[in-house]
Amino acid sequence: SPVPTIVLNDGNVIPQLGFGVFQVPEEDVTTVVAEALKVGYRSIDTAAIYGNEEGVGRAIRASGIPRDEIYVTTKLWNSEQGYDSTLRAFDTSMQRLGLDYLDLYLIHWPVPKAGRFVDTFRAFQALKSQGRVKSIGVSNFRIPDLEQVIAETGEIPTVNQIELHPTLAQPELRAFHANNAIATEAWSPLGQGTLLDDPTIVSLAEELDRTPAQVIIRWHLQLGNIVIPKSVTPSRIAENFDVFTFELGAAAMAAINRLDRGTRVGPDPATFSAGL
Ligand code: NAD
């Protein structure tokens, strides 16, 4: 595989480029994931709330690719936070996926006002000690959330999957992650498509004879992010994977770094509590 891997703080490795399936309906997802696997992706990012775990699992099982060559991530939804409810939600996700172990389980959102993410992570630790999940991590955690889960469980999450793209470059969180051996995974890496007509990105793409999506994905890879772009269009699925035969120079990286405005396309983790 042309895809580099990132070594997590528990010793497991994750492909640096994966495939996201947010907003891909269950009836389409099997075809879309099959396409991604055909192109060469070996990491799939889903979540219980996406409503498509069954179709994702079906595509993986039908691919004929050995299970240990595919990296599967799913996420625990907000409504299921808490120790016992997490154990039950994990069983439900695994039944839907039809897999006997999971590579990475993430707490989807911290939901700080519910105060249940520490108990949730303790349940993750139990699932990991049983061998049902290889690595445990979080998503949308802010620095204080990370500090709390580390202080109260004694375990550092392997991954924090956060909104991250050129207009929300997350320098403070990335520095905290680097100092604590937490891998940074970028969601909505293309700003849900909104960054593809940015003039800086478009002109860099023209200069390099690449597409805007490829330029942004390269920026993520060169920053060291794990990146999980989503598309349902076969030509774009392939385009987003064809990012290992060119590089951005220092000037191009700097030009993209200057696009950071601290603006989100998704919800604010401080207040997001859907499902509660
Ligand atoms: P994205 O930034 O990957 O953008 C996807 C959209 O960009 C597509 O729907 C399409 O409109 C466009 N696009 C993609 N490739 C293109 C190309 N080559 N040319 C032109 N247009 C293209 O957005 P996303 O789906 O929100 O994020 C990626 C993944 O991150 C999700 O599928 C999901 O797995 C994950 N995610 C996680 C969270 C979380 O809370 N943890 C939240 C959102 C997304």
246-263 residue pLDDT tens:
999 999 999 999 999 999
Alpha-carbon distances of 203 from 137, 207, 269, rounded to whole Å: 37, 6, 33
Q: Is 229 in the pocket of ligand 1 (CB under 6 A)?
A: yes
Residue with the smallest CA separation from ligand 1 atom 26 is 188
Q: Is 191 in the pocket of ligand 1 (CB under 6 A)?
A: yes
Could you tell me the distance, in angstroms and rounded to a whole number, from the CA of residue 117 to the centre of ligand 1?
26
Could you tell me the distance, in angstroms and rounded to a whole number, from the CA of residue 21 to the centre of ligand 1?
8
Smallest Cα–Cα separation from 137: which of 176, 69, 184? 184
Residues 152-177 pLDDT 10s: 999 999 999 999 999 999 999 999 99
Q: Is 73 in the pocket of ligand 1 (CB under 6 A)?
A: no
Could you tell me the distance, in angstroms and rounded to a whole number, from the CA of residue 72 to the centre of ligand 1?
17
Enter the pTM of the model: 0.99
- Would you call 101 a catalytic residue per the annotation? no
Smallest Cα–Cα separation from 101: which of 138, 62, 127, 119? 127
Q: Is 190 in the pocket of ligand 1 (CB under 6 A)?
A: yes
Q: Is the ipTM of this complex over 0.90?
A: yes
CB-based contacts of 114, cutoff 8 Å, min separation 6: 78, 81, 273, 276
Could you tell me the distance, in angstroms and rounded to a whole number, from the CA of residue 23 to the centre of ligand 1?
9
Are the CB atoms for 3 and 36 separated by under 8 Å? no
Q: What type of residue sits at position 129?
A: S
Residues 31-50 pLDDT 10s: 999 999 999 999 999 999 99
pLDDT band per the 50, 70, 90 thresholds, residue 191: very high
DSSP states of 112-140 as a string?
A: GGG--HHHHHHHHHHHHHTTSEEEEEEES
Residues 132-151 pLDDT 10s: 999 999 999 999 999 999 99
Are the CB atoms for 44 and 22 separated by under 8 Å? no
Residue with the smallest CA separation from ligand 1 atom 17 is 236
Give the position, in ligand 1's atom list, of the atom nearest the Cα of 239: 18
Is residue 183 packed enough to be buried (19+ CB in 10 Å), middle (13-18) or exposed (0-12)? Answer: buried
Smallest Cα–Cα separation from 215: which of 252, 169, 262? 252
Q: Is 20 in the pocket of ligand 1 (CB under 6 A)?
A: yes
Q: Tell me which residue has tokens 């989503």.
A: 230
pLDDT band per the 50, 70, 90 thresholds, residue 214: very high
pLDDT at 73: 99
Between CA 191 and CA 250 the distance in angstroms is 22
**Catalytic residue among 41, 50, 71, 105, which?**
50
> Residue 67 gets which letter from DSSP?
G
